[in-house]
Structure 1
């Protein structure tokens, strides 16, 4: 096969978004191990844009992605966002968690217990010591976003190969030679957007791995509580993130907000973890959990400081990291896709130096 300028490994929102941005001026080939795009983390996302979610670096990335999500030129003809809101409720024991979340946050409104219950009538007012809402939190149409980026990538001449699991990587004469799905691909640059498998890809390439931990996150669909229309409720969560719930097609998606370390895999829901999380949810609401309609799990991969790793590997020529997005991958994909293009092509990045330093893979290998 004729060489590309860039091989992107991983067909989730990170890899497809970066591929689409790179394809504006380079030949790009995206290799996805699964039969379809977005099979793992992207397809199992909570699909919510929360500006104040994450550490200071991630909040900067959230802010930088907002404009694109509202006006996704080239990806969709209308906004990818719809109003939702995020309500955080704290017991007395969780007041410190809520104060920590509010530190440096913007656009939060503090509520009384009665006001929180007005928004979500199944909450138990007697246990709420404080509450806050971010009205600007919004649902993200993840399917339309991923499909739009894939369409843009192809329109710009890029290739997408599904069912192409990488089995070997070597570098010869300034080119990476990648074997995937029984075929060979060549390019001077690899973008490692393999999510939970990013460490395995790095080892195949001989790069020193960035410290990444895949963590399982479980969710379940519950019937809506009797006599309640949940469609306009905000996402609501405990301040310590021991559970959260989000309206989903007239029902409730509830998650234990678990972060259990696991090996890279097609994640599945652990019944005990789910049961414990649903019990915590039940303690905060008047709604008994009598039936689970469907449950699943996904993987969120974090670095030790919980910021992504984005940039060229300091010791492996032509090997670019785009990994460790954790639970923020969808909402930061627009800015990180653009940043990947800027760093790979040598363009001037649009982000401040402080953010670039906080994202650099160099920080793990002084």
Structure 2
């Protein structure tokens, strides 16, 4: 592609979804430093769509994405990316304040129902007496979503270069000159969708970082001797000590909800985090563990205020932030991509995201 209009750095769910929208009206090139797109955070998701996850500022992005994930354009994907799950938030005596805050923070925005948690989780230990059910929670087919965006991107004429790391970029005339291991690229606009590497990419482009920090999250797959049906809800500790969800009959995905600051890297699980996860799980339910079958870790990248960063860098012309999606980048991808494309092109805001407070995500808040 000779001088694309837009170069997107990063081929995970952020870059793929944005590219899939932008390619309708622009010549777009995605640079992905790995040999396969979505290798890092996108490929390591626990794969759920939950409206309360990420807090009240993120919730409108998640909610707006729900309908787009449930009923996508049939030319984009034949079927839904979502399947039923539900979330059960659980707590012990003394967690009433956390329960009440959850109910208050999302009142009128998300359906939440106080419940007896034992009625929904057979084998729940008796000290877990508080429960709030979030019926809208769904599982996401992350791989299908990511691949569907990439197919759409290519069908519309977009180009992706794998194994292409941005080494340096500088503003020249009315655009950018980007240096990669495969040679230079010139473009009009440069989008930073580099996930854990977002601040590093900014510095390489002569842009001040905004403080996006990667945090490691550990996940383990357990095979259980006797687990209730796969239709059980995702179970979340109100104190943020763990969550787990069924992943096929007799198996669960479990995390200690760890957040350990990390340099951008190919994250690996640590044995201490795995031990903490299992200990907290056994303190919640009496299910017997037959085996630890898999374990992995991924990086979740947050801005200092834990809100995504979408918009043009005010200090450097033609540089666009599309980063800081934390652990909710997949569940917010459809709405975020529409928002990012609207901001990049100056086009009308689509009806699906018309109610979003765009200023809440703007990089100006850090300048």
TM-score bracket for the superposition, by shorter chain length: over 0.9
> Are the counterparts in 2 of residues 177 and 184 from structure 1 also a CA contact under 8 Å?
yes
Number of residue pairs the alignment of both structures matches: 360
Q: CA deviation at 1:352?
A: 5.6
Once residues 72 and 31 of structure 1 are traced to their aligned partners in structure 2, the CA distance between those partners, rounded to angstroms, is: 26
Secondary structure at 1:311 match in 2: strand
5 Å-filtered alignment, 1:289-304, equals 289=289, 291-304=291-304
5 Å-filtered alignment, 1:345-364, equals 345-350=345-350, 351=353, 355-364=357-366
Structure 1 gap ranges (5+):
none
5 Å-filtered alignment, 1:59-208, equals 59-73=59-73, 74-105=75-106, 106-112=110-116, 116-124=117-125, 126-208=126-208
Q: CA deviation at 1:296?
A: 0.4
5 Å-filtered alignment, 1:220-235, equals 220-224=220-224, 226-235=225-234
Q: Give the direction of change, closer, same or farther, for the CA distance of 1:354–1:21 in structure 2 (3 Å limit).
A: closer
Question: After superposition, what is the alpha-carbon deviation per residue over 1:113-163, rounded to whole angstroms, capped at 9, x for unaligned?
Answer: xxx223221211x21231011111000111111111000000110001111
> Are the counterparts in 2 of residues 51 and 137 from structure 1 also a CA contact under 8 Å?
yes
**TM-score, normalised to structure 2's length?**
0.95
Q: CA deviation at 1:179?
A: 2.1
Q: CA deviation at 1:178?
A: 1.4
Secondary structure at 1:20 match in 2: helix
> Are the counterparts in 1 of residues 61 and 356 from structure 2 also a CA contact under 8 Å?
no
For the aligned residues, what is the CA RMSD? Answer: 1.5
Q: Give the direction of change, closer, same or farther, for the CA distance of 1:77–1:290 in structure 2 (3 Å limit).
A: closer
Question: After superposition, what is the alpha-carbon deviation per residue over 1:292-340, rounded to whole angstroms, capped at 9, x for unaligned?
Answer: 1110000001112111000000001100000000011001110111111
Question: After superposition, what is the alpha-carbon deviation per residue over 1:152-185, rounded to whole angstroms, capped at 9, x for unaligned?
Answer: 0001100011111111212212221112232322
Q: CA deviation at 1:289?
A: 4.0
Once residues 94 and 104 of structure 1 are traced to their aligned partners in structure 2, the CA distance between those partners, rounded to angstroms, is: 16
Secondary structure at 2:291 match in 1: coil
Q: CA deviation at 1:70?
A: 0.9
Partner of 1:237: 236
Once residues 39 and 205 of structure 2 are traced to their aligned partners in structure 1, the CA distance between those partners, rounded to angstroms, is: 24
Q: Give the direction of change, closer, same or farther, for the CA distance of 1:136–1:353 in structure 2 (3 Å limit).
A: closer
Deviates more, 1:54-63 or 1:330-339: 54-63
Secondary structure at 2:160 match in 1: strand
Partner of 1:25: 25
> Are the counterparts in 2 of residues 196 and 214 from structure 1 also a CA contact under 8 Å?
yes
Once residues 263 and 289 of structure 2 are traced to their aligned partners in structure 1, the CA distance between those partners, rounded to angstroms, is: 30
Once residues 52 and 65 of structure 2 are traced to their aligned partners in structure 1, the CA distance between those partners, rounded to angstroms, is: 13
Once residues 295 and 139 of structure 1 are traced to their aligned partners in structure 2, the CA distance between those partners, rounded to angstroms, is: 20
Question: After superposition, what is the alpha-carbon deviation per residue over 1:170-227, rounded to whole angstroms, capped at 9, x for unaligned?
Answer: 2212221112232322111011000000000000001111111111100000003x23
> Are the counterparts in 1 of residues 226 and 287 from structure 2 also a CA contact under 8 Å?
no
Structure 2 gap ranges (5+):
none
